[in-house]
Structure 1
Amino acid sequence: MSPQEIDRITRHPDFIQLVRRKQRLYWSLTLVMLLAYYGFVLLVAFNPALLGRSLSGGATSVGMPVGVAMIVLAFALTGLYVYRSNRLLDPLNDRLKRECRS
């Protein structure tokens, strides 16, 4: 690609909107995950009862209910990202590709 083509694409309104939507989606999901992760770390740090609970006298869990919730949250955020990406970002990206080819 020539520099003129790249410049034309980066100035295209659909490209600008696509980049903004992607950044907004990335940062909001990252913020949610970081808040949940650090909330989990603080919960474990300030609640010693979560640190070494024995399950049926054998294995030891570290915050079993909270840990499972973190895993479920990670899957839910991934699902939300895929849903939003497929519904909002992919059509915009396809339209941008069609317009820039011509």
Structure 2
Amino acid sequence: MTASADPRVERIASNPKYQRLRSTRNKLGWTLTIVMLLAYYGYIGLIAFDKAFLATPIGAGKITTVGIPIALGLMVFTILITGFYVRRANREFDKLTEQIMEEAQ
């Protein structure tokens, strides 16, 4: 029996909760992807077009430049949006998936 011939697959695919799950998950995934790409390519754009700004020293010791905290911020931002997605997936998407699977039985 192929997956497409399995009646559970048809019940899951026609379930409005499944359609909502797919739509919500895809929207969130694409939104976070676009935000991450803007942040990453924004930083790369600064490297390419405004090196002088990134090379501006911070503080009296002039050991660290503006580019270092921006790069660290980008790394922290990446971790935060990943955590946001995982938290949302664990709270909302997993519950919805369980409901859909129970209804398909």
Alignment counterpart, residue 71 of structure 1, candidates 75, 80, 99: 75
Number of positions where the alignment pairs a residue of Structure 1 with one of Structure 2: 97
**2:97 matched residue in structure 1:** 93
CA RMSD of aligned residues (A): 2.3
**2:35 matched residue in structure 1:** 32
- 1:37-74 deviations in Å (ceiling 9; x for gaps): 111011111222336x8x85xxx989211110110010
Alignment counterpart, residue 14 of structure 1, candidates 14, 17, 25: 17
So what's the TM-score if we normalise by structure 2?
0.79
Which one-letter code corresponds to 1:3 in the other structure? Answer: A
**1:3 matched residue in structure 2:** 5
SS at match of 2:101: helix
Answer with 23-32 or 2-11: which moved more: 2-11
**Which stretches in structure 1 are left out of the alignment for 5+ residues?**
none
Query: C-alpha distance in 2, partners of 1:83/1:40?
Result: 26
Identity of aligned residues (%): 39
Which one-letter code corresponds to 1:63 in the other structure? Answer: G
**Which stretches in structure 2 are left out of the alignment for 5+ residues?**
none
Runs of 4+ more than 2 Å apart: 60-63
Which one-letter code corresponds to 2:71 in the other structure? Answer: G
Query: C-alpha distance in 2, partners of 1:12/1:61?
Result: 54
